[in-house]
Amino acid sequence: MDEAVLRRWVGLVVAVLCFVAAVAAVRSGSAAEGVAATESATTAGPFAASTPPPAAPDPAVESPRPTVADSRSASQPSSGSSAPSSSASPAGARTAGVGLTRTGTVLRASPTPSGDLEVVERVRFAAPVTSVRLELRASPAPALAGVRPQVRDLQIQAGATPVVAPATGPAEAPVVVRLPATGELTLRYRLGSSAVRSNPAPVGRVLLAVAPIVAPSATSGPVVLDVFGSGVRNLVCPALPQREQTCGARRGAAWTAGPVPARDATFVAQVDLPDPGAP
């Protein structure tokens, strides 16, 4: 074989070897990329930086909000409710409970500069009644021994029907008032001569005796008291056992006590009376 032919064979072999090496290099690179991708996915696991699936809606958050109409229907009593209207009630007065939507008596009282009490007494009976007995109770509090309250300007309403009040309210003897059959009774009156001025004490500080004037009966229930006024300082129940006599607590705009059993429903309020002419 001459030298020229030999050189051509050598060149051809070198070319084939170079081609084979290039193909091997390309395949090796692709395999490395595949391995790297697989390792990356395996290592990342559940912490891979992917967008999490949307959370299921929370029923408490996603539920529709009540409309104004829904709120009104939920908060207002039904037309069949016989609870007294609270349109003329003082701010913060209770609108449900004893004497209003449950059997019993609720007293609302506000002291005047003279030491009188303007009182609204609402009674809800367990069964309809056709008469009630009105009476004044003596306070068992030693500081109020001898106090004889007086009822003035008495008004009476049985359910929605006004009733003629007796010409003179209960004093030394009880008074019986006839009523149309009713399960609810409202009285409004001024309770006078029930204050004892504390001495020594800041000027204007008094003790006021408060008790319902509708006598307890088999169809009446417990009693609660709300006393309104910025000068109210304390409220006690002197007829209860000694450990329970500190029965009052501030609730919103009122000092409130009860419910207490009707037979024990006498209260004493400590009040700083407003100055005459004060707003």
DSSP per position, 106-170: EEEEEE-TTS-EEEEEEEEEEEEEEEEEE--PPP--GGGTT---EEEEEEEEETTEEEPPPSS--
| pLDDT digit string, tens, across residues 139-195 | 999 989 888 889 999 999 999 999 999 987 787 789 999 999 999 999 999 999 888
pLDDT at 89: 56
At 70 the pLDDT is 32
Q: Report which of residues 234 and 276 the model is more confident about.
A: 234
Q: Report whether pLDDT(262) > 50.
A: yes
Q: For residue 250, give the DSSP letter.
A: E
Using omega within 30 degrees of 0 as the cis cutoff, is the peptide bond preceding 90 cis? Answer: no
d(CA 180, CA 178): 7
Helices (H), the chain: 3-44, 59-62, 68-75
The pLDDT of residue 37: 40
Q: Positive or negative, the Cα torsion across 179, 183, 189, 192?
A: positive
**Lowest-confidence range among 12-16, 22-26, 98-102?**
22-26
More confident residue, 151 or 48: 151
* Residue ranges per structural domain of the chain: 94-272
pTM above 0.85, yes or no: no
H or E, element range at 257:
strand 254-260
Q: Is the pLDDT of residue 112 over 60?
A: yes
Cα 119 from Cα 212, distance rounded (Å): 9
Of 71-75, 96-100, 177-181, 222-226, the poorest mean pLDDT is in 71-75
Q: pLDDT tens digits, residue range 203-237?
A: 999 999 999 999 998 888 999 999 999 899 999 99
Query: What rounded mean pLDDT belongs to the chain?
Result: 76
Q: 94-272 — its CATH code?
A: 2.60.40.3650
pLDDT for position 17: 67
Q: Per-residue pLDDT for 58 more than 70?
A: no
